[in-house]
A and B are shown apart, each in its own frame.
Chain A
């Protein structure tokens, strides 16, 4: 792995081949044959739908209509809050929890299996369960508050901020285990000697995390955060099933609002236009992600 040729291959964008070898014509044909099935799927089920979507949402009037709709502006703010809070809380907690799950006690290992359960559990049942936990005074959360602390909990979905907070919570609940696994894999790849060397230099606990672990995980953290951001902007299930947009469509995000315009209001063009508004932000993010993936190698 540490061979010179491999390091060269990882770092070079321009001179792609180790000295003395060029890709021959027959190999190019082979490579295209390997790539062809995916290219066909990409063209037919990604590129064409994107182009068709852009064509559907081509009328400038649609965007005027969107800007005139207070629902749309509120939704944009919700989406920013939902993604900003959801992704950052989730990633930061996940990187810290991955440290916790590095502990070697048997009960930590057992707990990891339970913790990963929420990732394996399908989204629809999980979010439906969140919905029922929070619905009115009879839901499990309010019932528990009453039984354990004698407090009357609020009607969660009557308050925009509380409902939004629960959407974020449900999202974090569902996806944090996945990212914890990614960070756990990253941490396990850090050689033990580095910890030992750091301990000799007096870096333990918080200082070890700040000066040793985090710098080594920084690229994984960045790449994962970018990927999570792109996925969270497109998240539909959470808001659709947890708060269902309540109260009065004030917790919608772009994905659910687009769906609402297209099917409840029977205006598919407006629905597509609503989500297309996110592209000027998403495309640069995807490009940064692609760039980081290529650079992405911490050489020790």
Chain B
């Protein structure tokens, strides 16, 4: 923030002249100004949809017509009260639906981290797979996007006896989150010297002991990164939840939100208040874990 730095503020009256005579300084000042302008644009860009959510959620009316305001006239938290108490038809048993969403996301996170770390250990540290085709076979999953598979998946869940269970959704989420987890963990594991494993093996450690006491602790940042990735994937997902969970008992918040579109005269302020409450857990978890994430995301690293 060199604009406000004391050095610049204490410039003499003819401040502009010495500045012009020192082009590198002028350039830095212009650079900072440009950065701040970009920063302002990014700030508006990032927050506008969230602002819109708040605007509608705080509106007292919120019936069919949305009144073309850019600022709430009489902001009220009433719609949040309705959501929290489950006082509207679509929001009955709101906390039960919320618990379903949370269960799916947490189970997806844990299973992805578990399966991903086990598989990436076998693929990268034990050199089970030779060559690029076998070593990276999980990535082949992404050749057929998840949304393309929803129809066969729906029918197969009936064969497995998993129709209308949360496990069906968890299985889909894990199947599509794990390949990325394996990929990131494989890349990250390249940072760990193989000598660590070998030294432990010489001491008689079993592969599982190497996995537990060397691989897991040293890949911790990447495990946090892929865990967050899996959690957000499950929280973002809609179409599997919509199709696979048919009964009221197993419904999730994402499906409840989209359901508002089915009504002709839905109260949009309730819809937006639900959206905001739904957004709170991933945002909280994300910001709690953020410090470890950037380190864990290194992809095909550039290293010296």
Which residues of A does B touch, CB under 8 Å?
Answer: 1, 3, 5-6, 9-10, 13-14, 16-18, 23, 27-28, 30-32, 34-35, 37-39, 41-42, 44-46, 48-50, 52-53, 56, 97, 100, 103, 105-108, 111, 113-126, 128-130, 132-133, 135, 137-140, 142-144, 146-147, 173, 181-182, 184-186, 188-191, 193-194, 216-217, 219-220, 223-224, 227, 230-231, 233-237, 240-241, 254-255, 258-259, 262, 268, 271-272, 275-276, 278-279, 282-283, 285-287, 289-298, 300
Contacts and interface: CB of A to CB of B under 8 A. Distances in A.
Nearest to A137: B68
Interface of B: 1, 32, 35-36, 38-39, 42-43, 45-53, 55-56, 65-70, 114-116, 118-119, 121-123, 126-128, 130-133, 135-153, 155-156, 160, 171-172, 174-175, 178, 180, 182-183, 186-187, 190-191, 193-195, 206-208, 211, 232, 235-239, 254, 257-258, 268, 271-272, 275-276, 278-279, 282-283, 286-287, 290, 293-304
B139 A129 contact: no
Residues of A contacting B: mostly: helix
Given A10-B190, A120-B232, A103 B140 contact: no
Given A30-B208, A129-B272, A282-B144, A185 B298 contact: yes
Nearest to B122: A34
A37 B118 CA distance: 8
Contact of B193 (A1, A146, A230, A236): A1
Contacts of A276: 148
Given A30-B208, A114-B46, A125 B175 contact: no
Contacts of B32: 105
Contact of A49 (B137, B153, B186): B153
A128 B286 contact: no
Contacts of B297: 181-182, 185
A276 B294 CA distance: 36
Given A1-B303, A129-B52, A220-B302, A258 B148 contact: yes
Nearest to B45: A173
A171 to B, nearest CB: 12
